[in-house]
Amino acid sequence: MKEKRPFPPTLQLIFHLLAWLPLLWLLWSYWQDALGLNFVRTITLRTGKAALIFLLLSLTVTPLYLLFGWKWVYRYRRPLGLYAFLYAALHLLTFVGLDYGFDWALVGDAMRNNRYTQVGLTAFLILLPLALTSTQRSRAWLGPKWWKRLHRLSYLAAIIAILHYALLVRQYFTQPITFGVILAVLLGTRLFMALVKKRYALG
């Protein structure tokens, strides 16, 4: 039987180092006193951006496989998704802890009064079960069909996260629009390839 080639540990190390980089950069900026006057806002913005980027990177895996047949990229899907969740959790923790001092009444008010926090919370609540069921054991427990269905919600989480971003910018829409276009390309590639596969299966 052909043996599965072990993945180069150096590549794994580089990948994980890059993934921790946004957090290390934050800690470094804090150490250097370079987070600016409104440091809570800086942390919120940076962790939010990191969460969105990792979420989109995790959604890049399947289109890459479908287009180029690179099966090895699947090794990165789970860690990318988990890093997205980690940064989203830090983002939420910054909001609740640093911004609102864990004053749950104030947090509740902010959630009720701001559309973008409601939308952000929705994205987070979608990511939560995906992170919790990312293990092989959960996959076996749910069955591959239901697991796949559940994990397709990551596209919905990304759409809602971009909406959350768009709702809070007042002038510079370039960034949320760019993220939206990237997501549309990823989703479009998946749908297009699914259609092509169906057509070939029928023909």
* CB 62 to ligand HEM: min, Å: 18
Q: Does 186 contact ligand HEM by CB under 6 A?
A: no
Distance of CA 74 to the CA centre of its chain: 15
* Stretch 8-47 residues interacting with ligand HEM (CB under 6 A): 41, 44-45
Among 19, 26, 55, 59, binds ligand HEM (CB under 6 A): 55
Q: Does 51 contact ligand HEM by CB under 6 A?
A: yes
The one-letter amino acid at 116:
Y
Question: Closest CB to ligand HEM among 49 and 190?
Answer: 49
- Say if residues 55 and 154 touch (Cβ distance below 8 Å): yes
From CA 179, how far away is CA 39, in angstroms rounded?
25
Applying CB under 6 A, which part among 12-20, 26-34, 123-131, 181-189 lies near ligand HEM?
123-131
- Say if residues 56 and 158 touch (Cβ distance below 8 Å): yes
Q: Does 86 contact ligand HEM by CB under 6 A?
A: no
Among 88, 130, 182, 183, binds ligand HEM (CB under 6 A): 88
Q: How many residues does the chain have?
A: 203
* Stretch 132-151 residues interacting with ligand HEM (CB under 6 A): none
| Residue 37 three-state SS | coil
> Measured on CA atoms in the order 95, 93, 86, 152, is the torsion positive or negative?
negative
Tokens representing 121 are 């919370």
Of 83, 78, 87, nearest to 137 (Cα)? 78
Q: Does 168 contact ligand HEM by CB under 6 A?
A: yes
Question: What are the residues binding ligand HEM (CB under 6 A)?
Answer: 41, 44-45, 48-49, 51-52, 55, 88, 91-92, 95, 117, 120-121, 123-124, 127, 161, 164-165, 168
